[in-house]
Structure 1
Amino acid sequence: MTNKLTVKIWRGKEQGDFVSYEVPRLASQTVLDVVTYVQRNLEPSLGYRFACRVGMCGSCAMTVNGVARWTCRTHVSKVVGEGQLEIAPLANLPVVKDLVTDMSEFFDKWARAKGSFKGKRTRADDFEPVKPDSRERKAADAGVECIGCGVCYASCDVVSSRPDYLGPAALNRAWTLVNDVRDTQQRERLRAVAGDAGCHACHTQGSCTVHCPKQISPTAGIAGLKRVVGRAAVRGRL
């Protein structure tokens, strides 16, 4: 194909502007292919991230025509509008340069939500059995495939209006661990997600679930946290 595609790409940091480029329109072309073409052929200084190119790492997430997406799995033919494409960094995160965002606060919120596993057994002990058909295991499995790409975080209106909000990814991670029967810091985790910036700040708009490339429902996990936190508060266990 010899058609041309006009693409507007954000250049700069928090202050910047969109710059237009013309790239060849190709069959089976992804948005990441477009960005890579611009960087390799037109603008060597363009900053962006990618790694696996097959939808496993999530590092290529950007805002494409106003929607947060994995660019390696987004075909131009599915999103291009009137022959134009607009690519920007993820929303709700500081911009390092061009299409690169600083993910520090995103992962700091995972830590604040007690998003790390802490068990009681050591490497010298046998594995602790977990029944695969148990209610807890099924609840944890529903959200455990999150790879921390930030698409849900960038799509969340609550994060936009409340920068202190832990966000859907951190709360989804907390939900998976709340349902891990091997974990030993449940009270601390419930306290961490019960505050003003925690699960009760969610407005249940569902943007995180709609846009999650892994088809996870952080909305459901956050609703689960609300129930568990409410029961613990009533029983005086927070």
Structure 2
Amino acid sequence: MVRECLSVKLSQKLLRATVRRFHATPAAPKATTQNLKTFRIYRYNPDEKNKPHMQDYVVDINKCGRMVLDALLKIKAEEDPTLSFRRSCREGICGACAMNIGGVNRMFVIRDLITDMGHFYAQYAKIQPWLQRGDNESKCQGKRPYLQSPRDQEKLAGSYECILCACCQQSCPSLWWHTYTFLGPAILLQAYRWIIDSRDLKHAERLAKLDGYFSTYQCHTIMNCTSTCPKGLNPGKAIAEIKMMLAGMKEKEKPDLETPPVTLYQNPSLNKEHQK
């Protein structure tokens, strides 16, 4: 009987609490205040006769996301659909939406906030950014894995994370002065990434191509590239490492793991003997 009475009383209390919550007066909505910010955006349309100019847009940032990209999307959707800019992943992975904020643009403009990346990609292609092994490697592709130890893989940290956004390129004074000759910090960072890769066997050839005044030594260690990188990378340090290799002050370390010949994978019996 005692247990039954307790359960009844608890049920009555829960019922009264539920009724009170149901009939409670809803809280008055909080007064929303505007937080207006003015965005001055570079505008240029090659199809119009107007000269490039700055245009102001007022945005209530309380009604959009926290990123500058959110404000640009809001302006394009609600105020000016002609505003042009690149964007894709919005996760800091593809580098498409990178742009100069509060500074002077140093790249050729196609339209509005869209810059010409053609020269940047052409410079990137010069360093041949892919794994290179040897003259006969094409016959072995897909027939064996390229071995790499965790320690050798860790050496690539700080270089493979580059998203090719070209922010460091725009901030480099040496590249402002020598746009068509100097490779720039982003390209040299990627070159260093392949030079130190333990699986790549063409590091000597790669270094020989960088042994020139406009390839590497045009860098004067101003370090604007490092301070502007959105991924927190250090291209200046990578360029210094390349210079030391070119000067003979440092050499590429031998890999911890050697990739066995392709014959071991083609012949199972040889593979077993190699494992022993």
Equivalent residues in 2 for 1:60-139, closer than 5 Å: 60-66=97-103, 91-120=105-134, 121=137, 122-134=140-152, 137-139=153-155
1:42-101 deviation line (CA, Å, top 9, x unaligned): 1111110100112221111111122xxxxxxxxxxxxxxxxxxxxx8xx33211100001
Give the SS at the match of 1:198.
helix
Answer with 1 or 2: which has the greater Rg: 2
CA RMSD in angstroms comes to: 2.0
Write 1 or 2 for the structure with the bigger share of helix: 2
% same residue: 30
TM-score normalised to structure 1 length: 0.80
The unaligned stretches of length 5 or more in structure 2 are 1-32, 250-276
Name the structure, 1 or 2, with higher relative contact order (CA <8 Å, separation 6+).
1
- Say yes or no: does 1:153 pair with 2:190: no
- Say yes or no: does 1:218 pair with 2:240: no
Equivalent residues in 2 for 1:168-187, closer than 5 Å: 168-187=185-204
Residues 39, 124 of structure 1: alpha-carbon distance in 2 compared, 3 angstrom cutoff: closer
The whole-number CA distance in structure 2 between the counterparts of 1:206 and 1:132 is: 30
Task: Give the partner amino acid of 2:84.
Answer: G
- Between stretches 179-188 and 94-103, larger displacement belongs to 179-188
The whole-number CA distance in structure 2 between the counterparts of 1:208 and 1:13 is: 29
The unaligned stretches of length 5 or more in structure 1 are 67-87, 233-238
The whole-number CA distance in structure 2 between the counterparts of 1:116 and 1:146 is: 14
Write 1 or 2 for the structure with the bigger share of strand: 1
| Contact 1:115-1:170 within 8 A present in 2 as well | no
Give the SS at the match of 1:197.
helix
Deviation, structure 1 residue 189: 1.5
Residue-pair matches, total: 207
Task: Give the partner amino acid of 2:36.
Answer: K
Deviation, structure 1 residue 138: 3.4
